[in-house]
Every structure is written in structure tokens, then in C-alpha cells.
């Protein structure tokens, strides 16, 4: 059973062996109850990644999560696991050279991150058997978030907000799916895990690997163009304000600048690996190539 907002789009993702779809949103209690009734495992991946206000983020990522938990407790008496797909943003950025672990304090630096952390707290106090998964930046075939970056890099450069030496963790969608399946294991009950590939990437690495993927015959790597922090923050403030006045949501805002300008977003997958044996298999060189190939095959690039 799968709760979806756009049935046609959902069906296109499952040309064969599609699950049973229920059309609705987290605020649609009838649809939510239909999805939760008598199920064994719930994967909660729905949420807002961009919104007009902090209030909107919390209404979906925290309040609606609590309502889903309440519905699950009422309609799924034999529930074995509630897997909450949170975000690295809930924990906040790391320091250069120091991958963040689950034992480190969570210090969110954006409204989105704070709302996902609030969702984690709702899960933890629900009384249900739960597991929280915190993916880092996710990419791979079918992903639209990084498509613009691939298109820009194909032109020979990549703009970077803030420090081009910012450190990043990444995870390929195929590895993430494998990790989420591991969350069903008994030893993961009541635990929170980061999900990432162990390699640490900088802007130069991303640019080099994407460049090789989109233009394999070019010998010269694309150029990284760093935007000074003061300029980037001002630009993001203008873009975010304009979008809000127009009633549109965007990833480009003053609030998100706190994430973009952080010195590092690196986490450790060691806890999940130790508990389940899971390890990410696809490094960014191979993952970027797979992603670019998929974009080309489907006319996106």
C-alpha cells in the first residue's frame, strides 16, 4: 500500500508489479487510515523540502508525522516497525575533517532541518517500534534535484556557494534503498542512523566526476566558480524574498544559505554498518556516470 498525491506519476515509476496506491496526502485522514490499516511495516518518506514559511515546514514534517503515528497506533495493532526517513539536515552540519556521528548533538541550521528533527522527536516518543534513517544528499537515475548541476557542468563550469572546499557526504539512491530495507532488522529498533557512502567529496571532486560523466571525451575538467559568502547570502535573500512574495517555494533562500555556507556536511555510516552489515557500494565516480547515462537515455540531458 502506497500513499501518493499524483497517481499517474506514481504508476509511471512502476511499469510492472506496482503496489496498491491510495491517492491523498498526509492531511487526508481517510487516505492515511486506508494505508495504515493492519500493515506490518510503515516507511514514512513524505515531507516538505521547501515551503513558504517555517510554520508550513512544521505543519507537515512534524505535526502530520505525529498524526500519522497516532493513526498507525490505532489501525495497525501488530505493527513491527515505523521507519522514519529523516535527513542529515536534522542533525546539522559537521566540521572539516570530522564526520558527524549519531552521538553528536543535533544542531539544525534551517527551518527544514529543524522540522525534520521535530519529526524525529515525535517518532521517538510515539511508543511504536521505530527506526530513524538520516540520508545525506541523495542522487542517482531519475533524480531531478541534481539535474540542473549536471546541465551546468556540461557547459564547462560549476558555481559553488561559499567555500569550494566544503566537504560533503553523498549516497546513491540504490544504496539508500538497500539501507532502508536493512532498517527492518530487529537490532535497529529504537535507533537512529546516518546513511551515506564513506567517501568525502569536495566541490572539485563533484565537478570532476560530473564533468567526466556528461562529457567523457573532454580531457579538461570543468572549472569550479566560487561565489563569496557575502554575495551568495545576499543573492539567496533576494531570490527567496521574491519567490515568497510571488507565493512560490524555492530551495534558494536566506534560510537555506545557512546550509549552503556550512563548512562541511559529512556523516559516518559506521553505526549502520556495524548493526546490519550494510555498506554503500556505489562511489560518486560510478554514480555520476550512471546518473548521466540515465539522463541522456531519457532525454533529460
pLDDT surpasses 90 at 34: yes
pLDDT of residue 242: 84
Residues 243-277: tens digit of each pLDDT: 777 888 777 777 888 898 899 999 999 999 999 99
As a whole number of angstroms, the distance between CA 90 and CA 265 comes to 12
As a whole number of angstroms, the distance between CA 136 and CA 223 comes to 25
Cell triple for 160: 559553488
Residue 140, CA atoms < 13 Å, CB-side half-sphere: 13
The domain spans of the chain are 38-297
pLDDT band at 282 (very low <50, low <70, confident <90, very high): very high
As a whole number of angstroms, the distance between CA 176 and CA 22 comes to 24
pLDDT surpasses 90 at 230: no
CATH class of segment(s) 38-297: alpha beta
Residues 108-163: tens digit of each pLDDT: 999 999 999 999 999 999 999 999 999 999 999 999 989 999 999 998 888 887 77
Question: C-alpha angle with apex 165: 250 to 215, nearest 5 degrees?
Answer: 75
Q: What is the pTM of this model?
A: 0.92
Residues 178-197: tens digit of each pLDDT: 999 999 999 999 999 999 99
Average confidence score pLDDT of the chain: 92
Amino acid at each position: 500500500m502506497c500513499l501518493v498525491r499524483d497517481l499517474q506519476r506514481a504508476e509511471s515509476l512502476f511499469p510492472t508489479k506496482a503496489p496498491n496506491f491510495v491517492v491523498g496526502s498526509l492531511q487526508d485522514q481517510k487516505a492515511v487510515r486506508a494505508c495504515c490499516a493492519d500493515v506490518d511495516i510503515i516507511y514514512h518518506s513524505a515531507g516538505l523540502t521547501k515551503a513558504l514559511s517555517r510554520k508550513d515546514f512544521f505543519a507537515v514534517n512534524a505535526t502530520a508525522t505525529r498524526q500519522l503515528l497516532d493513526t498507525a497506533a490505532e489501525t495497525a495493532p501488530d505493527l513491527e516497525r515505523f521507519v522514519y526517513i529523516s535527513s542529515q539536515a536534522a542533525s546539522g552540519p559537521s566540521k572539516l575533517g570530522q564526520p558527524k556521528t549519531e552521538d553528536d548533538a543535533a544542531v539544525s541550521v534551517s527551518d527544514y532541518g529543524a522540522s525534520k528533527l521535530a519529526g524525529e522527536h515525535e517518532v521517538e516518543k510515539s511508543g511504536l517500534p521505530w527506526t530513524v534513517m538520516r540520508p545525506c544528499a541523495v542522487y542517482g537515475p531519475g533524480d531531478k534535484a541534481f539535474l540542473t548541476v549536471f546541465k551546468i557542468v556540461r557547459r564547462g563550469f560549476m558555481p559553488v556557494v561559499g567555500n569550494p572546499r566544503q566537504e560533503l557526504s553523498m549516497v546513491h539512491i540504490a544504496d539508500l534503498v538497500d539501507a532502508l530495507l536493512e532498517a527492518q532488522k530487529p537490532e535497529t529498533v529504537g535507533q537512529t542512523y546516518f546513511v551515506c557512502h564513506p567517501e568525502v567529496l569536495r566541490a572539485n571532486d563533484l565537478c570532476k566526476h560530473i564533468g567526466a560523466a556528461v562529457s567523457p571525451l573532454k580531457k579538461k575538467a570543468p572549472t569550479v566558480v566560487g561565489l563569496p559568502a557575502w554575495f551568495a547570502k545576499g543573492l539567496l535573500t533576494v531570490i527567496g524574498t521574491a519567490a515568497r512574495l510571488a507565493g512560490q517555494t524555492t530551495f534558494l533562500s536566506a534560510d537555506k544559505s545557512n546550509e549552503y555556507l556550512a563548512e562541511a556536511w559529512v556523516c559516518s555510516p559506521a553505526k549502520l554498518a556495524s548493526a546490519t552489515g550494510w555498506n554503500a557500494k556505489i562511489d560518486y565516480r560510478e554514480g555520476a556516470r550512471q546518473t548521466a547515462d540515465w539522463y541522456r537515455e531519457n532525454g533529460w540531458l
